[in-house]
Amino acid sequence: MDDVIQPQMGLTFEHIWSTILELAEQHKETERFLKESKAETERFLKESKAETDRRFQECAEQLAEQHKETERAVKELAEQHKETERTITKMNRELNQAIGKLGNRFGELVEHLVSPNLLEKFKVLGYAFGKSSPRVKYKDVNTGEILAEVDALLENGDCALAVEIKADPSIEDVKDHIKRMETLRGYADAHNDRRDYLGAIAGGIVGNNVKNYALKNGFYVLEQSGDTMSIAAVPEAWEPKRW
């Protein structure tokens, strides 16, 4: 008996519908998974942002505190610097006062060495000074302003000699005495004083450079010689300057 061939069955409506329902269920499952993944991702990002913000805030607070601490330290250092400057200024002022007092005393000592016998010392050089005055002040008759001050002034009817006395005269002291002599000349002219004015530099310690500079500018030089003061020797053909 021949085998009977059964006709092959095609896709039925039920089979297709079942496949569609299955695909729809898979789609829903995929959507749920995506939603859950999205929610989890958002939660993670939110927590990460919150942690980052918290750490950033902590760092900002630490930096702010460090900045305040640095400002306090800088302020303290600035105050210490000011205090140090005040202390140094005070010490310098006191030191200058002490040096000034010492210099004044030394200068007074030198004056006491120079002043005695000035008339006799210059008489040897041919000057017949009849008067010697210490610390002579020249004042403006209108304002009373002191125009010049001379440590010792020797005078007669023909001339006057202004002596500048320093413990340790310098070249600047010589320059100042030149200006002083010019002031005296102007003062004399304004008061009809036609006498010649001469100058001298005296010191307890007179360096060779100062002595030479003074002589070059026409000043006599008085320097210590043993226990007294003597007029320094002058170069041959040297003449004092007359203002």
pLDDT at 52: 82
Domain identity same for 105 and 198: no
Amino acid at 235: P
Q: What six digits make up the tokens of 115?
A: 């002043």
pLDDT at 102: 46
Sign of CA dihedral 114, 115, 120, 123: positive
Domain identity same for 142 and 99: no
Q: Which of 66, 84, 114 is the last residue of a domain?
A: 114
Domain identity same for 71 and 122: no
pLDDT at 96: 59
Residue environment code for 15-43, b if the CB has 16+ CB neighbours within 10 A, otherwise e: eeeeeeeeeeeeeeeeeeeeeeeeeeeee
In which residue ranges of the chain is pLDDT below 50?
A: 1, 5, 7, 99, 102-107, 109-110
Smallest CA-to-CA distance from 158 within 131, 194, 124, 185 is with 194
C-alpha to C-alpha distance for 107 and 169, rounded to whole angstroms = 11
Per DSSP, helices labelled H in the chain are 13-114, 118-123, 171-190, 208-216
pLDDT at 242: 96
Query: pTM surpassing 0.75?
Result: no
- pLDDT (tens digit per residue) in 77-89: 888 888 888 878 7
Domain identity same for 121 and 98: no
- The neighbour count for residue 110, using CB atoms within 10 Å, is 23
- pLDDT (tens digit per residue) in 28-50: 888 888 888 888 888 888 887 88
Residues 197 and 162 sit within 8 Å (Cβ to Cβ): yes
Residue 134 bridge partners (DSSP) = 152
Domain identity same for 42 and 92: yes
Range of the domain at 120: 116-231
Residue environment code for 192-223, b if the CB has 16+ CB neighbours within 10 A, otherwise e: eeeeebbbbbbbbebeeebbebbbebbbbbbb
Domain identity same for 56 and 147: no
- pLDDT (tens digit per residue) in 89-104: 777 776 556 545 544 4
Residue 194, in any domain of the structure: yes
Residues 159 and 198 sit within 8 Å (Cβ to Cβ): yes
